[in-house]
Structure 1
Amino acid sequence: MKYAVVGAGAMGLRYGLLLQEVAGQSVDFIEPTKASLEKIKGQGELVFQSRDHQDKHPVFVNIYSPEEYTGEPDVWIFFMKQMQLGETLTRLAPHFMAHQVAVGAMNGMGHIEKLQSYFDDDKIIGGTAMIATILNDFGDVDFIGKENSGRSAYSNLSGQKTAETKAILEDFQAAHLNPSYSDNFMGTLLTKVFFNAVENSIATMFQARMGDLLSYDQFVPTIAKPLVDEAYDAAQAAGITLLETREEMLVQVDYVAREVVPLHFPSMYQDFVKNRPTEVDYINGWIADLAEANGRSAPTQRFITNLVHLAEAMRQFNPPINQLSGSN
C-alpha cells in the first residue's frame, strides 16, 4: 500500500516513519504548516528521530505542501489539529480519488464529519492511538517508550470491516503500531477522547508530566472520576457504548500515568508551551456539548474547558516553561 501522511507533527511523523522505516512501505508526507515544511526542506528533506531523548538520527522523507503534491496514495492518514483540518482538506481536495481510504486517528472529535465531505463512509476508518510521542521542534520527533510499545485501535465508519482495512492493519502491525479492530465506531473513538479529557487537560493546566498527577493521592477518586462519570453519562444518554466500562477507564487512567508513560507530557501540553491554541474544545468541550445535546449536563467538563482557555490567556502574564527537552 502507498500511504500519504497529512501533518508532519508528532504523531504524523511517528506513523509515517514507522511505516516507512520498520514496515518498509512507501510513504509521502504532506505538511500544510509552512514553517514546518520550510524547516524540514531546509534540512535537506530530513527529519530527526530519537527515542526517549537518545539516538537522534536523520531520516530522509518525501515531503510536500498540499499544492505541490502530485502522488496517488492508496491511503491518506490524517494527523492534523482539529482546527486546521478543514482548510487542509480544502487544499488537498483536488487530489482525492474515489478508491482512496481515509484514516483519521486524531485527538478529539470533529474530524469525521469533515472527512465525510470528501470520502464515502465505507472509505473512512476512525482510530485512536495510545502512543506517546513528542515533537521537540519542526522536523524533530521523539518516540517515547520502548520499541514496539503503545497500541492503537480502529473501526470502519460504515460498521463493516473491509479488505482494505485488513491490509492497512497488517501494515500497521508490521510498523509496531499494535493495532486492534472493533465494529463499535463511536465507542472506539471516544475511549481515547474520554481518557484525554482527564490526562491531557489537567496535565496541561498544571504543566505536569502524566505521572506527576498521581502525586496527589486523591487524583483518581476526586478529579478523574467526576470527569469520567460525566463523559460516560453523556455517552449513555446518546446511546453510545464504549469499549471499556467507566471502572476500566479509571484503572487505565491510573495505569498509563503510573506505569506506561509517567514522564510523558501530553500533546495538549506540547501546544500549550509553544503558545498554540489547544484542542480542549474538541475534547472536554465536545463531551459537554454531547451531554447537553442529549438532555444532560456536564458542568465539570465545561468548567475544565474554560479553565484551560483561562490558562491559555494567562500565558501572556506567566509564560509557560517548555520542559519537553528534559522530559525523560
Structure 2
Amino acid sequence: MVVDSHVHIFPHLGGANGFPTVRDHLLFLQLYAATHSNPVRRLRDHRLADDCRPLAGPPTSPDALLDADFRVGRFGRLEWTLGGEDYYLQFFPPSLQQMESPPEFMLQQMAHAGIDCAVLQNAHLYGRLDDYFAAAARRYPGRFIGLASIDEARADTPAELRRLRRSIEELGLRGLYYANRGLFTEGYRRGFDDGSFDGFWEEVRRLRIPVFWELQGIPEPTRENLLAEVERLNRWAENFPDIPCVYTHGFPPDLVLDPPEPLLRLFRRDQFLFEILYPIHWGRDHRFPYPELRPVLRSLYHLVGAERLVWGSDMPNVERNCTYRQALDYLFINMDFVRPSELELIVGGNILRLFAVRSTGSEPG
C-alpha cells in the first residue's frame, strides 16, 4: 500500500477557505509568496523581476506586507501590482488553471500515479480546511487522512482549544498540522515552546495525535534562522517526548550530508519521523531522476533508519517541477541500496503505523 504523506486538496484559493475573511486568508498567501524561493516575474512579458516582491522589509509581522492588490490569478499564479505593473509567482504548476484541487481531482491523480492513500496537510496558505478535509474523508473512506489546523498565535485560547477538540473528536481528523510561520500574525512575539502554550500541547498529548511540523527559518528563511528553530524544536521535545511527530518538507541536502549539532540531536529523537520531499525544491534546477540526491538519501537512511522515514510528494504543487509518478519513482531509483521491505515502510508502512492503520485497507479517514 503506497501512502503519500504530503498532499493538498482545497477549494478555489481566492476565498476565505475557513478563515474569518478573504483578507485573513490572503495575508498568509502573500507571506508565502513574498518569501518563496521561486523567482518573481513580470506578467506582461514573463521577465524576471525578483526585486519586486510584495514585501516592504523583513517579514517580521503583517505590517511588512505591501498593499499591492495581492490576488489569486490563474494557471498556478499568485499575482500583485506595484507601480502600475503586474507581477506574479509561479507557485503552482501552470496546469492548475482554476486554482483549486478538489478531492476528485486528487483521487484521479492518485489513481494515475499508483497512490492508495494520502495525508492531507493543512497549511494556512490553502485555508483552514478542517471541515473540507473531514467531508472528503467521509465521502471517500480509506483514501484520505486529514490533519487539523490551528491558529498558532492563539493556540493558548479556549476558542482554539475547542476548535481542535472538534476537529479531532467530532470531525474525525487524525493529527495536527503546525507551522511556526503561523506566529507571524503576532510578530513572532512568542515561540511555539513558550510556556504560555503548554496547556495547548497538553491537550494535543491528551488527544493522542501526531503533530506534522512545518518549520521554517523565521522571520527570514536563512540557514541560521532554521537551525535556531530546530534548536527550539529540541527544547519543545524535551518537554513533550511522548507526542509523535513528523518533520515535513525535509532538510536541505547540505544539512543532511554534514548535520550540525542541533539537527543531529533532532535525528536522535525517536518520536520524530522525517519526510523525504525533494522534487518540490530540487526539481526546479535539476533534472529527473535527480542522481545528485543519492548520497543525501543514503545519509538520511544511515542517520535515522528506514523505520523513521516517510515519503511525500507535495501534490499538486510538485507538478511545477515533475509528474506525480516521477515524484515517487526518483526514490526507488536513488534508494536502490535499501531492501524492498524497507522501501515499503518509507512509502506507506511508517505512516500507516503512525495512524495505527492496517495495510489491508482498513479505513483511515
* TM-score, scaled to structure 1: 0.29
Whichever structure has more helix as a proportion of its residues is: 1
Higher relative contact order (CA 8 A, sep 6+): 2
* TM-score, scaled to structure 2: 0.27
